[in-house]
């Protein structure tokens, strides 16, 4: 009886998938994504990966499903369910999923996998790993911070003290020093990616010590940094996604990590049949994988936030004014530096590999 | 004889009430599922199939329930001695971290030494982490709730924030992987052992999706030992007497401090074993996020299980099934928020129906008088 019931349900599920999948022509590609524990709504890479899949759904006619695991024990089970149900591409997001993904990829050699944000030493043939040259983008953030700072004192708030975040810190540090070799740089770690209250405390402490531009690479903890910037009337720089609308007028730019583009490109490669597994890919300034938001124009995500009522007309106006008065004077300088990084005149060190220098 | 049938009757009533409350919770949950435009029938069949639908689902439900049974026991035992152990989370972390470090640090020990060594080291450190607030309570009357909460914070800082940074060798926020010789037996590898592969139904376990490891049986053994300790030994009698009436017990010649310290030490060791199992059996390294709030969920498990070791096992399996089936619900299109909401409803109603039981008992007593 139980068997009949479960068979019936499996059948119903199959029918659902089959009939839901009628519209577009190339509708046969299915993508499953397992997000990292932060889940949707982190305004950061989970959201960005999701946007990439939404775009792929619209433009390439794929279909996708996502899972938000409640804790790391669920990662493997979730990945395996997608693989066992014959999804064409299974994506895992976040460094803590790397082990689980390797295990499951070993069990399903014919399924294609992708991973966001972890370099694989010994990468299996059916995994493509999407990494980002955060240090290059953060270099621009550091340069901008040093240019806009009046006190000659800038701050960096990191999520957790480890290699991935050291890449952001290192880029920021080198960028700020490039503009002003005597600049004072405060650097602190919150030990948490989801604790805005702690982010705010750290930022307030930095402001007390004279910082007037603060860059964060701390996920949800960063919203506390924005709050502190707004309270104390100083500037902040966002990370990962365009966060310029979060505290209108106080977030002067965001270092973009275009997880959405990388995910979209990977899906596209699967649809078009030229997926190349066994590679650690790096997306850089040169190919637009990392970048700084425009210093002169208001970006689309900000306009969208205005459209759906997240920010008011006034907020949008404040952001426009800020761009005009604060950041646009430096647009040419930053563009020049970006060009120099791309053609190799400036070499940015990756602290994720070289290690964080002890005497800062 | 009459006593036994009374007992069986009350256990059956308890079970019936728990089942009833699960059904009520699921009915209330349908309201929330309607918010998502999905069919509650699909959602609940996914919950059921995910938790009990086939052999590997059942095995994984038991796997998920393992740390919950252990933390539930770690809360239940001191509860009987009149202590509220909020510190299972910290004890779990300390135990797990110790096992993780022992697991990778010693590279050339044979498995029959390395594994027991890692388990015992983890349980010992967990036990000390629990025994410390017990000692403070017994000797200096420091309230155990405050002491254990603060020790949780210290444990988090010491293991996740500081400890991982000392030992990690890659960008991964975890200690290095443990040696093969320190890993717990995983049932999916059953065919690698000639002795075990001849057992009947052994091949059922040999599926890669099965994650059940031997710690589930250690948890069951721990439950039986605690049951024996509580109800069949003098020490257990003394603990329960202290919990029932500390002053009365002292007056009756029972050494209350001994009971308090022992109860907290054992409870810490049991919570430590939960962490040990997660590290040596599930994740194969001490990683950030592996605690997953088990120490706090353990409080609910203990209370639902009426702080009786056997009840705690059932409570742990209920929570494990909700966790395991909840993931499957997400696959049927229910957002993770609604899944968590339904899990919380089930727990809420199971706890709340105890109220109904009290009401029944009162009415019966009244009827007796009239």
Give me the pLDDT at residue B370, please: 45
Chain A residues within 8 A of B45 when measuring between CB atoms:
5, 9
pLDDT score for A27: 55
- CATH number for the domain running over A134-257+289-354: 3.40.50.2300
Chain B residues near any Cβ of chain A (below 8 Å): 42, 45, 49, 53-54, 60, 64, 160-161, 165, 168, 170-174, 208-209, 211, 278, 282-284, 287-290, 292-293, 323-324, 326-328, 330-333, 336, 340
Q: Which CATH superfamily is domain A16-132+259-283 in?
A: Response regulator (3.40.50.2300)
Contacts of A164 in chain B (CB under 8 A): 171
- Beta-bridge partners for B186: B213
Q: Which residues of B touch A69 (CB under 8 A)?
A: 327
Asked if pLDDT for residue A142 goes beyond 50, the answer is yes
Which of residues B117 and B23 earns the better pLDDT score? B117
What residue spans define the domains of chain B? 56-296
Which residue did the predictor score with more confidence, A2 or A57? Answer: A57
Which residues are paired to A181 by β-bridges? none
Selecting from B209, B282, B336 the residue whose C-beta is nearest the C-beta of A73 gives B282
Q: CA of B252, closest CA in chain A: separation in Å?
A: 48
Q: Could you read off the pLDDT of A321-337 as tens digits, one per residue? A: 999 989 999 999 999 99
Mean pLDDT of all residues in A100-110: 92
Inter-chain touch B173–A74, beta carbons under 8 Å: no
User: Of A108, A102, A107, A174, which is closest to residue A140 (Cα–Cα)?
Assistant: A174
What mean pLDDT is predicted for residues B24-32?
Answer: 89
Query: Is the pLDDT score of A307 beyond 70?
Result: yes
- State the CB neighbour count (10 A cutoff) for residue B233: 11
Q: How far is CA B100 from CA B115, B219, B280, B287, B291, in A?
A: 11, 19, 7, 9, 13
Residue of chain A nearest B331, judged by CA positions: A67
For residue A96, the chain B residues in CB contact (below 8 A) are 172-174, 287-289
Instruction: Tell me the residue length of chain B.
Output: 370
Give ranges for CATH 3.40.50.2300 in chain A: 16-132+259-283, 134-257+289-354
Q: What is the mean pLDDT of residues A261-273?
A: 92
pLDDT digits 0-9 by tens, B36-47: 888 888 889 999
A207-237, pLDDT tens digit by residue?
A: 999 999 999 998 889 999 999 999 999 999 9
Percent of chain A with pLDDT over 90: 60
Residues 6 or more apart in contact with residue B65 via CB below 8 angstroms: B216, B316, B317, B318, B319, B320, B321
Distance from CA of A70 to the nearest CA of B (A): 8
> Nearest by CB to B173, which of A39, A107, A162?
A162
A95 or A12: which leads in pLDDT: A95
pLDDT exceeds 50 at position A77: yes
At B96 the pLDDT is 97
For residue range A164-183, what is the model confidence (pLDDT) as tens digits? Answer: 889 999 999 999 999 999 99
pLDDT at A285: 93
Mean pLDDT lowest for which of A21-35, A47-61, B253-267, B269-283?
A21-35
- Sorting pLDDT into bands at 50, 70 and 90, what band is A23? very low
Residue A61 and residue A52: Cα distance in Å, rounded? 13
Of A39, A162, A352, the CB nearest to B336: A39
Q: CA B7, B321, A84: angle at the middle one, nearest 5? A: 150
CB-CB: which of B64, B328, B336 is closest to A68?
B336
Q: Is residue B244's pLDDT more than 90? A: no
Give residue A59's pLDDT: 92
Instruction: Give the pLDDT of residue A26.
Output: 46
The nearest CA of chain A is from the CA of B208 a distance in Å of 8
Q: How many other CB atoms are there within 10 angstroms of residue A355's CB atom?
A: 12
Does residue A6 sit at the B interface (CB-CB below 8 Å)? yes
Q: Name the band, by pLDDT with cuts 50, 70 and 90, for residue A5.
A: low
Contact yes or no for A149/A179 (Cβ under 8 A): no
Q: Which residues of B touch A107 (CB under 8 A)?
A: 208
Q: Indicate whether B105 pLDDT > 90.
A: yes
Q: What share of chain B is helix, strand, coil (3-state, %, to 5)?
A: 80, 0, 20
- Using CB atoms, pick whichever of A12, A70, A162 lies closest to residue B336: A70
Question: Which one is predicted more confidently, B113 or B201?
Answer: B113
The Cα–Cα gap between B321 and B333 comes to: 19
CB B66 within 8 A of CB B274: yes
Q: Which of B42, B66, B157, B208 to mutate to test the interface with A (most CBs of A within 10 A)?
A: B208
Q: Tell me if B49 and A37 make a contact (CB, 8 A cut-off).
A: no
Residues in chain A with CB shorter than 8 Å from the CB of B284 are: 99
pLDDT, greater one: A281 or B13? A281
The pLDDT value given to residue A13: 55
Q: Other C-beta atoms within 10 Å of B17: how many?
A: 16
DSSP class per residue in A306-335:
HHTTSS-HHHHHHHHHHIIIIIGGGHHHHH
Q: Of A73, A80, A94, A355, which to mutate for an interface test with B (greatest number of B Cβ within 10 Å)? A: A73
Supply the pLDDT for residue A10.
58
Q: What would the mean pLDDT of A88-93 be, rounded to a whole number?
A: 94
Q: Which residue on chain B is closest to A13 by alpha carbon?
A: B332
CB contacts, 8 Å: A9 with chain B:
42, 45, 49
Is pLDDT above 80 for B247? yes
* Residue-averaged pLDDT of chain A: 88
pLDDT at A48 over 90: no
Angle in degrees, 0-180, between the axes of helices B88-105 and B111-140, rounded to the nearest 10: 150
The angle subtended at Cα A99 by Cα A95 and Cα A104, nearest 5°, is 125
- DSSP states along A181-239: TT-EEEEEE-S-SS-HHHHHHHHHHHHHTT--EEEEE-GGGHHHHHHHHHHHT-EEEEE
Where does the pLDDT of residue B348 fall: very low under 50, low under 70, confident under 90, or very high at 90 and above? Answer: confident
Which pLDDT score, from 0 to 100, does residue A2 have? 55
Question: How does pLDDT run across B197-235, given as a tens digit for each residue?
Answer: 888 888 888 888 899 999 999 999 999 999 999 999 999
Mean pLDDT score, B324-340: 86
Q: What residue in A sits closest to B174 (Cα-Cα)?
A: A96
Place of tokens 């040169």: A286
CA distances from A343 to A126, A133, A135, A142, A348 (A): 32, 15, 16, 19, 12
Give the pLDDT of residue B354: 67
At residue B370, the 3 state secondary structure works out as coil
For residue A21, what pLDDT is reported?
45
CA distance B37 to chain A (A): 15
- Candidate from A13, A77, A161 with C-beta closest to B60: A77
Residues B87-110, mean pLDDT to the nearest whole number: 95
N residues, chain A: 360
Percent helix, strand and coil across chain A, each rounded to 5?
A: 50, 20, 35
d(CA B187, CA B66): 14
Residue A352 with chain B: CB contacts under 8 Å = 171
What residues in A contact B332, CB-CB < 8 Å? 13
Adjacent-strand bridge partners of A292: A255
Facing residue for B287 by CB, picked from A70, A96, A121: A96
């Amino acid at each position: 009886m139980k068997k009949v019931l479960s068979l019936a349900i499996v059948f119903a599920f199959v029918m659902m998938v089959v009939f839901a999948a009628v519209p577009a022509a190339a509708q046969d590609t299915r993508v499953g994504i397992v997000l990292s524990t932060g889940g949707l709504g982190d305004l950061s890479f989970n959201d960005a990966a999701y946007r990439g899949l939404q775009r792929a759904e619209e433009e390439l006619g794929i279909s996708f499903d996502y899972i938000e695991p409640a804790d790391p024990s669920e990662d493997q089970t979730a990945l395996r369910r997608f693989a066992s149900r014959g999804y064409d591409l299974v994506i895992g997001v976040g460094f803590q999923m790397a082990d689980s993904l390797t295990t499951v990829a070993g069990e399903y050699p014919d399924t294609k996998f992708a991973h966001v944000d972890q370099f694989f030493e010994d990468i299996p043939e059916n995994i493509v790993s999407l990494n980002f040259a955060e240090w290059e983008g953060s270099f621009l953030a550091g340069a901008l911070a040093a240019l806009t700072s009046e006190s000659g004192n800038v701050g960096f708030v990191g999520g957790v003290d480890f290699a991935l975040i050291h890449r952001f810190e290192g880029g920021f540090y080198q960028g700020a020093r490039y503009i002003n070799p005597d600049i004072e740089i405060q650097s602190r770690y919150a030990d948490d990616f989801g604790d805005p209250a702690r982010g705010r405390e750290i930022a307030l402490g930095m402001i007390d010590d004279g910082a007037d531009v603060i860059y964060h690479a701390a996920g949800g903890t960063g919203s506390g940094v924005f709050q502190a910037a707004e309270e104390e009337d100083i500037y902040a720089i966002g990370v990962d996604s365009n966060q310029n609308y979060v505290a209108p007028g106080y977030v002067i730019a965001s270092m973009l990590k275009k997880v959405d583009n990388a995910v979209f490109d990977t899906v596209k490669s699967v649809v078009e049949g030229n997926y190349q597994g066994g590679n650690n890919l790096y997306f850089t300034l040169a190919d637009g994988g990392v970048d700084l938001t425009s210093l002169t124009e208001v970006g689309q995500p900000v306009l969208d936030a205005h459209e759906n009522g997240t920010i008011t007309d006034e907020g949008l106006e404040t952001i426009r004014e800020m761009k005009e008065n604060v950041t646009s004077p430096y647009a040419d300088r930053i563009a020049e530096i970006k060009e120099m990084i791309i053609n190799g005149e400036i070499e940015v060190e990756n602290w994720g590999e070289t290690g964080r220098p002890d005497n800062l | 004889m009459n006593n036994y049938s009374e007992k069986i009757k009350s256990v059956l009533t308890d079970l019936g009430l728990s089942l009833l409350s699960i059904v009520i919770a699921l009915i209330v949950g349908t309201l929330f599922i309607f918010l998502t435009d999905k069919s509650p029938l699909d959602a609940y069949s996914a919950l059921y199939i995910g938790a009990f639908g086939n052999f590997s689902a059942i095995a994984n439900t038991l796997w998920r329930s393992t740390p919950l049974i252990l933390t539930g026991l770690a809360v239940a035992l001191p509860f009987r001695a009149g202590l509220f152990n909020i510190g299972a989370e910290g004890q779990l972390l300390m135990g797990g971290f110790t096992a993780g470090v022992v697991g990778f640090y010693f590279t050339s020990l044979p498995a029959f030494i390395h594994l027991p060594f890692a388990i015992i080291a983890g349980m010992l450190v967990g036990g000390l982490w629990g025994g410390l607030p017990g000692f403070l309570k017994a000797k200096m009357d420091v309230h155990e709730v405050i002491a254990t909460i603060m020790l949780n914070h210290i444990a988090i800082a010491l293991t996740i924030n500081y400890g991982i940074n000392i030992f990690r060798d890659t960008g991964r926020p975890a200690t290095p992987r443990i040696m093969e010789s320190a890993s717990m037996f995983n049932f999916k590898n059953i065919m690698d052992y000639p002795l075990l592969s001849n057992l009947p139904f052994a091949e059922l376990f040999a599926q890669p999706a099965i994650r059940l490891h031997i710690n589930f049986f250690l948890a069951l053994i721990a439950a039986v030992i605690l049951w024996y300790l509580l109800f069949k030994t003098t020490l257990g009698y003394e603990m329960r007497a202290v919990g029932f009436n500390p002053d009365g017990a002292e007056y009756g010649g029972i050494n209350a401090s001994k009971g308090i310290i022992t109860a907290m030490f054992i409870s810490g060791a049991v919570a430590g074993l939960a962490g040990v199992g997660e590290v040596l059996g599930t994740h194969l390294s001490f990683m950030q996020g592996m605690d997953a709030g088990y120490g706090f969920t353990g409080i609910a498990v203990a209370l639902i299980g009426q702080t009786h070791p056997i009840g705690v096992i059932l409570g742990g399996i209920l929570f494990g099934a909700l966790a395991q089936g909840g993931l499957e619900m997400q696959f049927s299109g229910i957002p993770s928020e609604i899944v968590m909401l339904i899990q919380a409803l089930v727990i809420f109603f199971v706890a709340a129906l105890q109220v109904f039981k009290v009401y029944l008992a009162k009415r019966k007593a009244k009827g007796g008088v009239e």
